[in-house]
Amino acid sequence: MNTFTLLAIAGAIIIIGLAAYAGYLLLQLKKQKELQQQHRELAISKRNANIFESVDTICLATIQGQCDLSEAAIRLYNIMDYVQGDERVDFDKAYPATSELYHIVKDMPRGEARQQMKKQDRMRDNLARQKAEARLNDAITEELKVLQKTVQPLNNQIDIKLVG
């Protein structure tokens, strides 16, 4: 064999070796991306489960009369905005009465800002809020029951293995 043939064989072996290594690296990259996607989905599921636990608590407290409808509407509307993935809902379409109350009271001052308002302005806001709550009370209560049933099954997805 001449020198050229030996160099061609050595070059071919090096090229095949590099191609095999590149293929191996591509396979590892694919596995890494799949693992990252699994971790992302798990993180989203865990985050949504925490959100749904809070939603369930707010719904229960409101249905039992322990939380004002306006406060519940504000909290639920805002917290449901953080839901990610397939469980995300268009709150305005899915829960129109709760959404309507939210849009009525969202810009009304609360807490310290409310205390600094003139009494007449506070009373005007109270009247508008109370009218809206009275008008939407039954519809919101029904929507909260539906919302509670919707998030509850998603909240109880804990794998239990019996040891025998």
Q: State residue 121's pLDDT score.
A: 82
pLDDT tens per residue across span 55-83: 999 999 999 989 889 999 999 999 998 88
pLDDT in tens, 103-159: 988 888 877 877 787 888 888 888 888 889 899 999 999 999 999 888 876 655 545
Residues 6 or more apart in contact with residue 109 via CB below 8 angstroms: 116, 117, 125
For the chain, give every domain's residue range: 49-156
Interatomic CA distance for residues 59 and 88, integer angstroms: 17
Long-range CB contacts (< 8 A, 24+ apart) of 27-32? none
Give how far the C-alpha of residue 33 lies from the chain's centroid of Cα atoms, to the nearest Å.
23
Residue 162 has what pLDDT?
53
Rounded CA-CA distance 61/82 in Å is 21
Quote the DSSP letter at residue 93.
H
Residue 152 CB burial class (10 angstroms; 0-12, 13-18, ≥19): middle
Is the pTM higher than 0.75? The answer reads no
The token pair that represents 137 in the structure block: 């009370």
Q: Please tell me the distance from the alpha carbon of residue 84 to that of residue 76, in angstroms, as a whole number.
A: 15
CA angle (85, 90, 93) in 5-degree steps: 155
Q: Which long-range contacts does 104-107 make (Cβ < 8 Å, 24+ apart)?
A: 104/128, 104/129, 104/132, 105/70, 105/73, 105/74, 105/129, 105/132, 106/74, 106/77
pLDDT at residue 160, as a whole number: 46
